[in-house]
Amino acid sequence: MRILLVEDEKHLSDNIKKGLSEAGFAVDAAFDGEEGLYLATTETYDCIILDIMLPKMDGVKICETMRLKGYKTPILMLTAKGSVEEVAQGLDSGADDYLTKPFAFIELKSRIQALLRRGQTEASPVLRVADLELDPGKHTVSRAGKGISLTPKEFSILEYLMRHRGEVVTRTMIIEHVWDINYENMSNVVDAFMATLRKKVDKNRSVKLIHTLHGVGFKISTKP
């Protein structure tokens, strides 16, 4: 098993590398974002550990770029303590798991093993809310076992909602995620898509999953 570690704090990097090597992994270390991305895309790894705060290019950017290019390698992000934003950004950019610093080494090891295991059995984690399932890998959605066909934007919005299940998601968050940063939004695109999503996901169902929080945004969950 080969692992890439992208971490700029020399001391921490050395420690992790030592520990993982002892556990039988082959570890490559990169010390800045550019080097990390270069290695990640030119070599083959079974898992990548990415610090978020990095010189030259941050971890989120690396992760996004890789997913954009189609790399499915499991990615574990290291985030600063207490930064909910970082965690959200990280998972959003396509990371499979995260760990907040500081952490116990054994914790890191077990997360990595979980990721590697997951990679073997099921290619990608399926998102689930009640009887609604979304498989990011296969790009399929189903409710109560029956397939639902969604357009790309619809899929992307639903995926985003499901990755934040139970939490409020504002229109701006959705816009920034599904469209690009420079999209000048003064319209009601999001609302229009919510309407079509509802039609496909919730219509004729006794239990509604998509809820509006007036004045705030939307939320997907079993309870309003």
Name the residues that contact DNA, by CB under 7 A: 149, 151-154, 171, 179, 183, 185, 187-189, 191-196, 198-199, 212, 214-217
Task: Return the number of the residue (26 or 38) whose C-beta is nearest DNA.
Answer: 26
The Cα–Cα gap between 94 and 224 comes to 28
125 binds, among DNA, a second copy, none (CB under 5 to 8 A by kind): a second copy
- Return the residue of 68, 137, 188, 212 that touches a second copy, per CB under 8 A: 137
Contact 219, 174 (CB under 8 A): no
CB of 151 to DNA, least distance (A): 3
Per CB under 8 A, 120 contacts a second copy: no
Q: Which of 80, 10, 15, 7 is nearest to 48 (CA)?
A: 7
Reported as half-sphere exposure (CB side, CA atoms, 13 A), residue 105 has a value of 12
Amino acid at 136: P
Q: Which is nearer to a second copy, 195 or 216 (CB)?
A: 216
Q: What is the dihedral of CA 85, 86, 91, 95, to 10 degrees?
A: 170
User: Judged by CB under 8 A, does residue 71 bind a second copy?
Assistant: no
H or E element, residue 33: helix 33-42
Beta bridge partner(s), residue 37: none
Q: Which residues bind a second copy (CB under 8 A)?
A: 11, 14-15, 18-19, 22-24, 83-86, 88-89, 102-106, 109-110, 113, 125, 137-140, 147, 149, 151-152, 166-168, 170-173, 176, 181-182, 184-186, 213-217, 223-224
